[in-house]
Structure 1
Amino acid sequence: MTTDRKIGLLLLLPLVVLVLGLTVYPIVQVISLAFQQQSLYSPESTFVGLANFNAVVSHEGFTRSVSNTFVFTFGSLALQMAMGLPIALLLNKEFPLRSPIRGVMLFSYLVPYVVAAMTWKFMFSDATGILNYWVRALSLPMPASPFGSLDWAMAGVIFVNSWKNFPFMVIVFLAQLQTIDRQLYEAASVDGATAWQQFYKITLPSLLPIMLVVGMLRTIWNFNNFEVVFLLTQGGPIGRTETLPLYIYRFVFGEFSLGRGAALAVIVFFVLLIMSAIYWRLYERTQERFK
């Protein structure tokens, strides 16, 4: 091994130690806790094998929380893409004030979760909410306060989460759109291709790989999202918006069971691992198809 290589490895050592300390060690600790019975207020623990996993899976409301999590995750993903792609296509065109408008589009993404959630909750407030007032005044076919409605609570939470995060889609899609050679569109126009045909044959194939990557990231982030649901509904009404992160919170801070909370966290980890592998396989197939 050369001296330069030794120096390079030595310089990487602090980063490796940091990564191991901040990621690998906590994961190992959580997996270890999942097989133990330990209270939040007691350092003593007892090995119980798979008892925590059995307790979690058979717990009242587990199936509902799993269903809610998938609805919230993929509902948010679909809405974020549906909002992000058209706006990215629009911002890729030349028009006056394009640069300032691009900056304004980042606003909701820069707002902290707690500010975004409480702002929307305030606007739908029964007492002072401006949106609550207009829903009633216009007799719109929706409850004036969707976050307290059995039928609309999940839709409201998905909307707020999507409003907060869709600029991420805009940024990524816009960056990818700007890498497409303009001559491809010019040649397609000469050949008589319509705008839809140009989108389907040129734009979409170029965007598809990055759509899968960003879809994987947003799936992970949506699946793990705690703040929006907790701040808007705390899992209510009667569990209609309770997702797995809130379920973990309930086990740890409601039942004071670190073991059950860790067991559910391990289940979530492996579910996300499987979904990430599926996304990655689709990404590889897409890359092979459009080479």
Structure 2
Amino acid sequence: MKIYLILFASLLSVSCESKDSPENQPNITTDGQDSVVMEEEPIEDTTAVEAKLTLLATHPDIQDGVLVENGKVYTTCGGLIRKTSIGLYTDSDGFKILSNEFAGSIDIDSDNEYLYVTNYDDNTIKTYNKSTGEVNTITGELDGPAGIEMVGDFLYVTNFGAPPVYSGNTVMKIAKDGTKEVFLESSELLRPQGICELNPKTLIIASKANLYTLDLESKELKLIAETGLSVGNITIIEDVIYAAANKHNQILKITLDGDVESICCDDSDEKLTKPLGIDYDEENNRLIIAESQVGRLKALSLD
């Protein structure tokens, strides 16, 4: 997907206040562990006044990644909060739960037949058959799977890292039959989350406050932007990256040259609360955003 992630409910309701968990996880954020908390300064927002935010739906299971596809918005429930659902929103029918057979769903992508979902709580990838509703596990034994992106016939998955250490630094390559390999392991990656396709040969990966390109042929990882804020889910529109900065209630616009600006909103602005999931709705030229602690789905117009 063009995506990302944070995980806990009462501990976190996707913002977790746990001594064992880091500040910004796939649906996990805490302020209680100084060793992992970054000193972050909000990026000055010069366009928030013009931001056009619309509330689409409210439900406690709208917590993490979102996928926009053919007028439908698929949602995930977040990890480490004992939730098991994926959901569906349409402008005509509103929001409903599609299935309760998942395990801390984080991010989601699709092909014509299936949805593919990362499950943080049991370290698996599960599929949802769009026609029958059947759910199956295609692979397991991952390390806190977070972001997922399909390129060609393969799924690329970021490993955020499982509790209690959350030390993920890998990207997995997974075939649709579940065959998997470690595609990349790098000390430059620390709790990678958001992942999206720039082109058929290149991925964009978010790892804390940094964005990287990953060349699928050479496996070269290249730093392209330092945002100054921890980001999770990401999406891309015509070579411009949009990222959810959960801690500071901002949506960032990032160019491939590394320029960063906030398009909405800031710490003092109640328009946006803990944004986590993000994807682009091309038909309506808007970003679809999941607010992780409050369970809201919003649209940010780009017109």
Structure 1-normalised TM-score?
A: 0.23
Greater relative contact order: 1 or 2 (C-alpha under 8 angstroms, separation 6 or more)?
A: 1
Q: Which one has a bigger Cα radius of gyration?
A: 1
Bigger strand fraction: 2
